[in-house]
Amino acid sequence: MDTERNSGRNWKAIPPFETGIKGRCPRCGEGHLFNGFLTLKPKCECCGLDYSFADPADGPAFFVICFGCIPAVAFAMWLEIAHTAPYWIHLVTTLPIILLTCIPPLRPLKGWLVASQYFYKAQEGQLDTPS
């Protein structure tokens, strides 16, 4: 069991994949993580967990670029080289593919990274200097 300081309650540790992908609070699994599409709420409305610890930075964008954009652009290049497709073909095929592989995964990936930071108690590294 994961015990939270200053909460007065024991919270069961919930794996990040279960809460993050759904956009739920990493501590209670009930409250919402987002206020809008990608903006994090200040705190959970159910358990009061302060989300100020969360800093996924460019992580979601990096994963989307590597696993979504690169294959979509490779498809566009193949389509152009193999078939010398006119612009309207790219407009109706390539543009939707790029948009569908880039935008929808951002929110679940950001939720998963925030939940992982909470679950694994990630924090900024500090130098251990002898005193």
In angstroms, rounded to a whole number, what is the distance separating the alpha carbons of residues 1 and 43? 22
Q: What is the pTM of this model?
A: 0.84
Q: Please, which pLDDT band fits residue 4 given cuts at 50, 70 and 90? A: very low
pLDDT in tens, 70-84: 999 999 999 999 999
**Helix axes of 70-83 and 94-102: crossing angle, nearest 10 degrees:** 170
DSSP letters, 60-73, are HHHHHIIIIIHHHH
Q: Is residue 3 over pLDDT 60? A: no
* H or E segment to which residue 10 belongs: strand 10-11
Residue closest to 56 by CA, chosen among 8, 113, 17: 113
**Which pLDDT score is estimated for 129?**
85
- 112 by DSSP, 3-state: which? helix
pLDDT in tens, 101-114: 999 999 999 999 99
**Which pLDDT score is estimated for 131?**
73
